[in-house]
Structure 1
Amino acid sequence: METSTVQGLGQTLHTNSHITVLEVGPRDGLQNEERVLSPDDRIALIERCAAAGARRIEAVSFVHPGRVPQMAGAEEVMKGVPRGAGVSYSGLVLNRRGLDRALAAGVDEVNVVVVASDTFCRRNQGCTTDEALAAWDVIAAAAHDAGVPAGMTIAAAFGCPFEGETPPERVAEIARRAEAAGAFEVALADTIGVGVPAQVRDLARRTRAAASSAALRFHFHNTRNTGYANALTAVEEGAAVLDASAGGFGGCPFAPAATGNIATEDLLYALERSGVGTGMDMAAIAETGTWLGTLLGKPAPALLGRAGPFPS
């Protein structure tokens, strides 16, 4: 992968010259919002993100609508997304039933969540971490047979709202299990926004050692204002993909006081000013974040839409 050298603050940073931003607004950005958007509105959000250059979009979640009503109508959304523009659409699944729905709906990739702590895993998906890993093995094998790439997101990798610190050895072992079942990608998720750059470095290196064949992705929340520092650290550590949500919306319905993802537009600003390209239109994403805020009835947490880029 090509690298760039960026001078700043008296030091030289060596970073990837290009990184993929996976737009998670249509799924993780909406799943914790009080206002439930219609499938048509969610399709419009996806269309805007695709038009702004997003080439990987987490479009839907195949969970029971009784658990997460914001994600009802996943099949309808997938039926309406724009095809043929080089966009890969992923769907979140937690079990074999969810996978069957995802495959029938025509997703391009599958994202399976495994929570790194038992307490949170029970609240999130009604099972222990080991039981979630057993389900992952079944899902990964079936997805492989169907020719659809399956990746794993390790949730609460940086900390759990119920058990406290997440042992990094536990995260590495889950990553190893992910790779053993053929994960094309392993994502480390700071689900409740407690991580700091030192943890990013440590977990990135442990995960690469445990799952060297899988691409490394990170998912950050800005709950304690460390999300963007963590994202830039992940780039320095060789991350291939960063998750972000247009407008900075998001959170987990099953985690107390969970707040939004890092905002796509704010992340793009930080990356581009650091010499890291994404292929996305920062202004268009900022407009999308503001538009989404009007649909949800509240201002977008993102700052770029208010301050504007620099130079203007």
Structure 2
Amino acid sequence: MIYWGVMQDGGRMLLGDPREAALSFDWDAPADQLKAVFPADRIWEDINEVCMYEGGKGVFRGIVDEQNTRLTSEGLFVELVSRSREALLLDNEAEPVIIKRPSLESIHKRLIEPLGFGRIKGESESVPGELRVEKGASCWRVLCDFCGEYLGTEPYVDFEGDIRCEGLGEVRAELRDVISAELQRLPYKRLSAVWKQGYRGGYDTLYSDPEAPVVRRRYVSAQSGRDPRGMLEEAKRDSGLLTVVCAGGVWPLRGIIADVSVPGLGRFEGCRVRRGTYFRDGNGERTRLVLERGKGDVADQEAF
């Protein structure tokens, strides 16, 4: 990985090899995070962004949340803590407003363009009705809710800084050079039944998972907007995880569907990456990935 810093005046600085670095991804968190410590021979200028490249391709671009300069017995070091540009949407409160016949274009023009995002990509047609932006809602929440309800997608920001709302898609990847692995069976995560509130106020609609090993019930109000089927499926995915550590760097991770063979555990296919962290330190480069068990895996069931 090659690391560049972008200063406030737009100038660029080659940051060199970090003493240690950790780049983290979480499917449930909009922004990736990088923490990196670099040797330095002087105090650096203020850095606004950090960019990471692998083989000439940009893999991470993040705004700097912290720039910490430390003098130790081993010398001078600069720690940079940064998050990918989704952080700008998370950190900024959206203007309370009512947008009639909302569209991606109108949301972009009113709420997002002032944050420095020049382009937004996705279905641009207006939808009927109005979008009511409540006080305290973040720009990310407004955009994410609109994309989820009307486009069936989840937005993200690409390396160039464009907001992408057309859907990420899936990329199949074979994980290699496995250093270690852990297979987790977590039956306490599984739900056996979700009761949904009906129009008369009672919780009288049942959604169940007959394969759940124990009884664990949840009740969903009519106002919550939660999908009982989705809750059962998510709980099922959470109950079986595979953690693998691979030599080298595996990035980016969002949208990756992984296949991996683990000696002694078996072959796992169609596993979505739930979380991942790329490490670089004195032991070299490695990537730790937490995978959802895929439907097509052929793990050795005797391991359970």
For the criterion TM > 0.5, the same-fold answer is no
TM norm structure 1: 0.23
Work out which structure has the larger RCO, using CA pairs closer than 8 Å and 6 or more positions apart in sequence: 1
- Name the structure with the higher strand share: 2
- Name the structure with the higher helix share: 1
If you compute each CA radius of gyration, which structure gives the higher value, 1 or 2? 2
